[in-house]
Amino acid sequence: MVQVAARQRAATTVTSARQSLGAKGEAQAARWYQDNGYQVVDRNWRCREGEIDLIVRLRRTIVFCEVKTRSSDAYGLPAEAVTRAKRDRLRHLAAKWLAQSPIRPVGIRFDVAAILDGQLEVIEGAF
């Protein structure tokens, strides 16, 4: 019983730390977009099928951004975590968001904000 409780506490601590790292990365990416003239339209938009980390707007273009934050490259680079399945899911989620939104953009774009050890790289038009 004691070992199970200790493992659960350790898992909760790791999950909490991971969530905190992800939230910091999303805030850093949102600041970058704002500093570059974009308006943040939505953060962590959720529906039953999943979540879009960041939705921003520059004039009449909507950008759907997947934010990947890593403290090291021990498990690969952040952008490498955006697999084909993840890209397909983001396209589906973007279509759902657009169907529900009153915004009618002229263009859309999918970016990846890759943050490694605090260094941000925004890959515009990543897919």
The confidence band for 5, taking pLDDT boundaries of 50, 70 and 90, is low
What is the spatial distance between Cα 80 and Cα 64, in angstroms, rounded to a whole number? 17
Whether 114 shows a pLDDT value over 80: the answer reads yes
pLDDT tens track for 26-52: 999 999 999 999 999 999 999 999 999
Hey, which CATH number is domain 2-123, 3.40.1350.10, 3.30.1370.140, 3.30.200.20, 3.40.120.10? 3.40.1350.10
Residue identified by tokens 């704002």 is 34
Task: Give the tens place of pLDDT for each residue, 47-73.
Answer: 999 999 999 999 999 999 999 999 999
Cα(119)–Cα(79) distance, integer angstroms: 13
Which pLDDT score is estimated for 15?
Answer: 84
